[in-house]
Amino acid sequence: MKRRLLSLALLAFFLLTVGSFIHAANKPPQKGGTLPAMSLPIPKSPAEKNYLGLSGEGSFKIPQIKAKVVIIEIFSMYCPHCQKDAPGVNELYSLIENDPDLKNKIKIIGIGTGNSAFEVGVFKKNYAVPFPLFPDPDFTIHKASGEVRTPYFIVVNINKDGSHLIVHSQLGEYPGAKPFLELVLKSSGLK
């Protein structure tokens, strides 16, 4: 009996693992879908905590961010296009933060795929990135996100009931801060 239970447990583990792998390999986060399960550490910096509307310690899930829309950039310190786009994404942050109508509605975060905390720190310092960046050293989030190439942008609407919906996603092709903000406003329904 014990052996049968063990076998069933192993089978369930196997199916879940391989199943999620196949799922990940085929489906990057896309419009109309939801985010893969991911937890991020609550930032230690009070400014970043405040920006995201989080408190305490431990981890959080993206829909817990206090905003109507969250823009997620999956990037890598080692990716030339992420490096090239960094000033433009910083400008997007400034456009949002300098607009009283948008300031508390749209938040940006970056997830450094395959990057250690040190490497994410290097990227943040080099490009003076003003929004929170999170390391994904073991590719956990990257795997769950369909192993997308970088940079990959995801725009998510956060609903009042805590549910969420991806309203836009794109691989690279960052058009610059203003056109991208327009796209975010339209796709999220903020405009």
Partner 1 sequence: MKRRRFLHLAWVAGTLSVFAFIPMVFAISDAFKENIYNTGTLKPIDSVLKVKVGDRAPDFTLPSLSGEKISLSQYRGKRNVVLSFVPAAWTPVCSDQWPGYNIVKDLFDQNDAILLGITVDNLPTLYAWTHQMGKLWFPVLSDFWPHGAVAKKYGVLRSDGVSERALFVIDKKGILRYINVNDINKRPSLEDLVNALEKLQT
User: Where on the chain is the footprint of partner 1 (CB under 8 A)?
Assistant: 3, 7, 10-11, 14, 17-18, 21, 76-84, 113-114, 116, 118-119, 122-123, 126, 139, 142-143, 147, 149-151, 171-172
- In the complex, the smallest distance separating the C-beta of residue 99 from partner 1, rounded to whole angstroms, is 29
Task: Take residue 138 and report the two structure tokens written for it.
Answer: 């073991």
- In the complex, the smallest distance separating the C-beta of residue 92 from partner 1, rounded to whole angstroms, is 18
- In the complex, the smallest distance separating the C-beta of residue 191 from partner 1, rounded to whole angstroms, is 28
- Cβ proximity to partner 1: between 73 and 107 the closer is 73
Distance CA 190, CA 102 (A): 9
- Is 145 in contact with 29 (CB distance < 8 Å)? yes
State how far the alpha carbon of 90 is from the alpha carbons of 11, 21, 107, 144, in Å: 46, 33, 12, 26
- Cβ proximity to partner 1: between 157 and 169 the closer is 169
- In the complex, the smallest distance separating the C-beta of residue 49 from partner 1, rounded to whole angstroms, is 25
Alpha-carbon torsion 33, 168, 43, 23, what sign? positive
